[in-house]
Amino acid sequence: MKDFMMLFHSEPDPDFNPTPAQIEEEVKAWQDWMDGIGAQGKLKNPGEALGFEGKTMHADGTVTDGPYAEVKEIVGGFMIVSATSIEEAIQLSKGCPVLSSGGKVEIRDIMVLDGM
C-alpha cells in the first residue's frame, strides 16, 4: 500500500450564500463519501478543510496576502488515503462532492524519504 494525498480544488463563488440546510447537505455528502472510503480501510487521514485567510512566503523573503492571490482557483481541503496504486486512488476520488460543483480532485503520491 502507498499513501496518496487528495487536494480538493474549486473556484470561489462570492455570490453563493448557502442556507443552513444546504450547508448540512454538503457536510453530509462529504461525510458519506469519506465514510465509504473509511469502510474500505483506505482512509488514512480525513484531512481538514482549509480556511480563506492566509499569507504566501516568496523565495525573495516577501510576504503577500492570501494563499491564492494571483489565481482563480483555491485548494479547499485535503485528505490522505492508502491505495495500491494511483489508479486505485483515482477510483476512490470518484463521488467526491467537490466534483458535483465543477471542482476537481488532485491526487498526489506521498514520497517516503529514508531516514526522515
Q: What is the pLDDT of residues 44-97, one digit of tens each?
A: 988 888 877 788 888 999 988 766 555 667 788 899 999 999 999 999 999 999
In this structure, the number of other CB atoms found within 10 A of the CB of residue 25 comes to 12
| Confidence at residue 19, expressed as pLDDT on a 0 to 100 scale | 92
| Confidence at residue 74, expressed as pLDDT on a 0 to 100 scale | 79
Task: Give the three cell numbers for residue 88.
Answer: 486505485
The domains of the chain, with CATH numbers, are 2-109 (3.30.70.1060)
| Confidence at residue 30, expressed as pLDDT on a 0 to 100 scale | 94
pLDDT confidence tier of residue 27, bands split at 50, 70 and 90: very high
- Look-up of cell digits 523565495: 59
